[in-house]
Amino acid sequence: MRYIFYALVPLLVLLAVTSSACVLAYLITWGLDDPSLLRKLIIRISQILLLLSIYPVMRLLKLSKDDLGIAEKPLFIRQLFKGFGIGLLTLLPIFMVMAIIGVNVFDDSQAWSIGLVAKKLAIAFSLAALIGVVEELVFRGMLLAGLRRNMPVIVAIILGSIYYAGLHFLDSKSTISPATFNILTGFQLLSEAYGNVFNSENTTAFFALLMVGVFLSVIRTQIKQSIGLCIGCHAAWVWQIKMSKSLFNTNPHSEYLSYFNGHSGVLGPLATVWLLVILLGYFGYKKGFLSAK
C-alpha cells in the first residue's frame, strides 16, 4: 500500500500542474480572443510549471544537489561531454542502419549550404540542450530521487521510466470551435490527452521511450552524481533526431520501416532491442568483472 501511495504522488502532481495550466491557458486565450491557441498554451504552460516546480519540490522533499546527482562544476562539465559521446555512440548506429537500408533518404529538395547546415546544427543543439537539462533534472533527478527514498531502486527506475514515456503522449489533437469555447474546454482537451497515453497505436513508441528512461536511469543509479552524463546523453539523442529530420526524409515504401516506427520516426522496436542489448552487455560485463576480482 505504501508503494502504491508513493507511486501515485507524481501523477497527482502532474494532474495539479496540468489542471492549473488549463485555467491559465483559458484566461490567456480568452483575453486574446483566439481559442485556437488553447491547446499549445496548455502544453507550454504545463512545461513551464513543471520546470518551476523543481526547486519547491526539492525543498519539500529535502532533496540536495547530491540527491539529484549534480556533481561539482568541473566534473559536471566533463560529464556533459562524456554523456554526449555516449549518446552519439548509442544512437548513431541506428541512423547509420536507417541510411544504409534506405529508410532514410537524403533531402535533396533544399538548397543546402554551409550556412544553412550550420544554422540547423545550432538550432537543433540549442533545443536538444534545453530538453536534456529540463527532462533529466525532472525525471532522472527529482522524480527518481524521490521514488528511490520510498521503494527499491529497480521499482523506482521502472516507475519513473513509465512516467517519462507516458508524458510524451500526453496530447490532444481535437480542434476547438469558438462557439463551444469555455473554461471547461481545456479540461476536455486534458481528458483526451490523458486518454491518448493508453492509445494502442502508441505501444511501440511507448516501450522504446520506456527503454530510453531505463537506460538513462541505470546511468544515474550506477554512477554517483551522474546527472551530467544523463543530460549529455539525452541531449545527443535529441540533437541527432532533430538533425536527421532536417537532413533526411523517411522512405514510406521501405520494407524495413516497421523496425523504426515509433517516437520521432526513430525510437521503434530496433532502438528498444538495441538499448536493451547494451544494458545486458553492461551488466554482464560488470558481473564478470566483479567475479574475476
**Is residue 34 packed enough to be buried (19+ CB in 10 Å), middle (13-18) or exposed (0-12)?**
middle
212-261 tens-digit pLDDT: 999 999 999 999 899 999 999 999 999 999 999 999 999 988 898 888 88
Cell digits for 82?
Answer: 562524456
CA-CA-CA-CA torsion sign (239, 267, 141, 45): positive
Instruction: Identify the band that residue 292 occupies on the pLDDT scale cut at 50, 70 and 90.
Output: low
Q: Model confidence over 148-179: pLDDT tens digits? A: 988 999 999 999 999 999 999 988 888 888 88
Cα–Cα distance list, 120 to 126, 241, 281 (Å): 10, 12, 35
CA distance 204 to 202: 6
pTM for the whole thing?
A: 0.91
Binned at pLDDT 50, 70 and 90, residue 291 comes out as low
Tens of pLDDT, residue by residue over 4-56, are: 888 888 899 899 999 999 999 999 999 988 888 888 899 889 988 888 888 88
Dist. CA 51–CA 125, nearest whole Å: 20
Q: What is the pLDDT of residues 275-285, one digit of tens each?
A: 999 999 999 98
* Residue 290 confidence class, pLDDT cut points 50, 70, 90: low
What digits encode the pLDDT tens for the residues 131-145?
999 999 999 999 999
Domain chopping of the chain, boundaries: 2-292
**Intra-chain end-to-end CA distance of the chain, in Å:** 40
In terms of average pLDDT, the best of 98-112, 190-204, 232-246 is 232-246
Rounded alpha-carbon distances, angstroms, from residue 58 to 52, 110, 158, 222, 231? 11, 47, 21, 22, 18
